[in-house]
């Protein structure tokens, strides 16, 4: 008797780093839950919201007690976001967390920083099928990311690195390095 394993769901494929359809109903439901949490975070009066709206805090995989996220904030799912102690995200940050996004202790993200984990297919026929793949992003401890910077899928930023405002990070950033520009390149501190 042959054993036919149950095929993976698109969510399981996303979590495994395989190609999946981002329009899958199960994934769409998770995205809707994140939209509601982000909306609550953005519309609560600051005194009622505190550092993070309650639905948003409950959504995250990990969120230290002293994390602060300014409103407006957007995430794709929230369930893949890990925020260590004393992390600060300024107004307008976007995290498309189709894969784990880990932000280390004492790291600061300026206004409108964007972190992308979703990568779309290069073949236009497959891209029309809404296929994407999730690549994790890791940001070390005590990192400063200037306003408007974009971190592309699969990037690791080492401890104490600085990413200049408006930079597009297309390659890993070594610990203690400052990078600026598009694409971001190391400069002397």
Residues forming the active site: 120
Name the maximum alpha-carbon separation found in the chain: 65
DSSP bridge pairs for 102: 82, 138
Which among 131, 137, 146 is positioned nearest to 181, based on CA atoms? 146
State the Rg of the chain over Cα. Answer: 17
DSSP bridge pairs for 162: 144, 178
Residue 76: CA count within 13 A, CB half-sphere: 19
């Amino acid at each position: 008797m042959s054993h036919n394993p149950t095929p993976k769901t698109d969510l399981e494929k996303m979590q495994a780093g395989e190609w999946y359809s981002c329009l899958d109903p199960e994934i769409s439901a998770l995205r809707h839950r994140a939209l509601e949490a982000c909306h609550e975070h953005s519309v609560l009066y600051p005194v009622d919201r505190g550092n993070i709206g309650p639905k948003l805090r409950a959504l995250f995989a990990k969120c230290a007690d002293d994390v602060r996220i300014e409103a407006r904030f957007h995430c794709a799912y929230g369930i893949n976001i890990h925020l260590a102690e004393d992390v600060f995200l300024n107004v307008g940050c976007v995290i498309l967390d189709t894969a784990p996004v880990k932000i280390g202790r004492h790291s600061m993200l300026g206004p409108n920083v964007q972190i992308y984990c979703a990568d779309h297919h290069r073949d236009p026929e497959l891209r029309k099928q809404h296929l994407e793949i999730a690549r994790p992003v890791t940001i070390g401890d005590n990192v400063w990311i200037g306003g408007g910077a974009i971190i592309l899928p699969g990037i690791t930023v080492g401890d104490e690195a600085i990413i200049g405002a408006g930079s597009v990070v297309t390659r890993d950033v070594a610990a203690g390095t400052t990078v600026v520009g598009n694409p971001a390149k190391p400069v002397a501190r």
